Structure 1
Amino acid sequence: MNPMRLTGPEASVIKYDLLTALSVAGLNGSPTLQTTLMRLIAAVTARYNWRADELTVGQRDLARMWSVNERTVKREIKRLLDGKILICKRGGVRGRVAAYQLNYDEIAKLSEPCWCLVGPDFDLRMKGRYQGQSTVKIVQLSDYTKPAETEDAAVQSAPGTWQRAMARLAKENADQFNAWFSQLKYTSFDQGILRLRAPSKFAQRYIETHLMRPLVSAVEAELGPITRIEFEA
């Protein structure tokens, strides 16, 4: 997003919509995600420099704002960086406070499944504002017409394939598939244990807390019963 838009005539609408997106993503997430995004919203509302497009607040100040210790602040900042919700613009070295920037594309990707929950007007605004800028990898169904060369031989002979399970998910909910499932990497399926690799820990947590039911249903329809799903680093 162009930072100038955050200080122009439509700036207030853009900011409120951004905070709304973070709020509903948190409310529909795990307790950990709720807490993390609530703390981020507080910091952004109080201290984000929209003109410079950065958040520069010391750990001590954040600890006081969030009513936590500085160790918790470090853990929360790391979680937001790992989830790509924040981007580090300048590291905090030699007594200088670190500067962080909101990653608008990642926030849009995280919150998109929840836009419709706010209302059709909000959903329409957000799609018009962010979908053209999204860096989410779109996986075409044609990619699943033949097995990947590195796919495990045991799955090749199983009743169905990982590709067909992904095709099922894409057919059921294309937006959800493009935002979350398309980025999953298949590792193995053995004795009911499905091993996958997620693009980030944040995406992994979101899938674990929101999307396990459709994932398990689609995979079991093609590969057979699943006893558990393991995400590899």
Structure 2
Amino acid sequence: MQIIRPVGREASAKKYDLLSALMAHALAGDQHRQRLVLRLMALITTRYNWQRDELTMGQREMARLWCVDERTVKRDMARLKALGWVVVKRQGARGRVSVLGLGLERIMLDTRAEWEHIGPDFVERAGGTAPVPESTVVPFRPRGAVEAGDGTWGAACRQLAGEDPALYEAWFAALSEAGCEGGVLVLIAPTRFHASYVAGHFIGRLLSAASRADPAIRAVRIRSAGEG
């Protein structure tokens, strides 16, 4: 899948693609999904800085735009963050508003099932599989590695494998769960390189999948086998 970067000569088309994907996803869902997506689209079209991937807007302003109370804003923003559609780039402090960004890849992955409703041209333009980052080292997958079972990591694995089987086999299948404490899911990689590479390239995707499986998950830590 092509990752939308709404900059450059084709920026306008990419923006419309993102909004079209959200629209199709909303229309295929119930009224709760439609309302949530509409509210996100309102933020994108009125306050989102495409060039900098920044959304800076206080809860009071959001409440006024959405015609709701601030309690509703807090609830829906928590839902959008849990989905991975909205991410906190810089936490607000001393009365300042947090700087938010969009989880563009996550949004496109989650709306993919509805792309065909827009048309084959859209599917062709936005489709394909997410590229596996280039590396001169092939990740090591132990022979007979245990497949993911039940629990948080098992559910996360099923989601990751469904999104991109090749990426899952290359980098996620060899990870195993070492436990979860204080909202931190600890995963074990077979080698130090594997742990470093996954942490450097895919930690956001892992956190998104894990938090969907268990909303209490707030962070994912990768360490290599034998590491204390």
Distance (Å, rounded) in 2 between the aligned partners of 1:2 and 1:118: 18
User: Could you say which residue in structure 2 is the equivalent of 1:85?
Assistant: 85
Distance (Å, rounded) in 2 between the aligned partners of 1:99 and 1:149: 36
User: Could you say which residue in structure 1 is the equivalent of 2:130?
Assistant: 132
Taking only aligned residues, the RMSD between alpha carbons, in angstroms, comes to 3.8
Residues 180 and 203 in structure 1, CA contact (< 8 A), matched pair in contact too: no
Residues 105 and 134 in structure 1, CA contact (< 8 A), matched pair in contact too: no
Residues 104-146 of structure 1 deviation map (CA, whole Å, 9 limit, x = unaligned): 1111110111111100001111115xx33489xxxxxxxxx99
Residues 109 and 134 in structure 1, CA contact (< 8 A), matched pair in contact too: no
Q: Alignment partner for residue 178 of structure 1, among 162, 166, 172?
A: 162
Residues 152-180 of structure 1 deviation map (CA, whole Å, 9 limit, x = unaligned): xxxxxxxxxxxxxx9xxxxxxxxxx8239
User: Could you say which residue in structure 2 is the equivalent of 1:24?
Assistant: 24
Residues 3 and 105 in structure 2, CA contact (< 8 A), matched pair in contact too: no
**Bigger Rg, which one:** 1
Letter of the 2:120 partner, please give it.
P
Structure having the higher helix fraction is: 1
Distance (Å, rounded) in 2 between the aligned partners of 1:179 and 1:150: 18
Distance (Å, rounded) in 2 between the aligned partners of 1:51 and 1:77: 22
TM-score, scaled to structure 1: 0.57
Q: CA deviation at 1:200?
A: 5.7
Q: CA deviation at 1:34?
A: 1.3
Identity of aligned residues (%): 38
User: Could you say which residue in structure 1 is the equivalent of 2:181?
Assistant: none
Q: CA deviation at 1:76?
A: 0.9
SS of 1:94's equivalent in the other structure is: coil
User: Could you say which residue in structure 2 is the equivalent of 1:156?
Assistant: none
Distance (Å, rounded) in 2 between the aligned partners of 1:78 and 1:90: 16
- Give the paired residue count: 160
TM-score, scaled to structure 2: 0.59
The 5-angstrom pairing of residues 46-195 of structure 1 reads 46-128=46-128, 131-133=129-131, 178-179=162-163
Distance (Å, rounded) in 1 between the aligned partners of 2:94 and 2:46: 25
Distance (Å, rounded) in 1 between the aligned partners of 2:58 and 2:163: 33
Show structure 2 runs of 5+ residues with no match: 134-143, 151-157, 173-207, 215-228
Residues 83 and 200 in structure 1, CA contact (< 8 A), matched pair in contact too: no
Q: Does 1:41 align with 2:34?
A: no
Q: CA deviation at 1:30?
A: 3.0
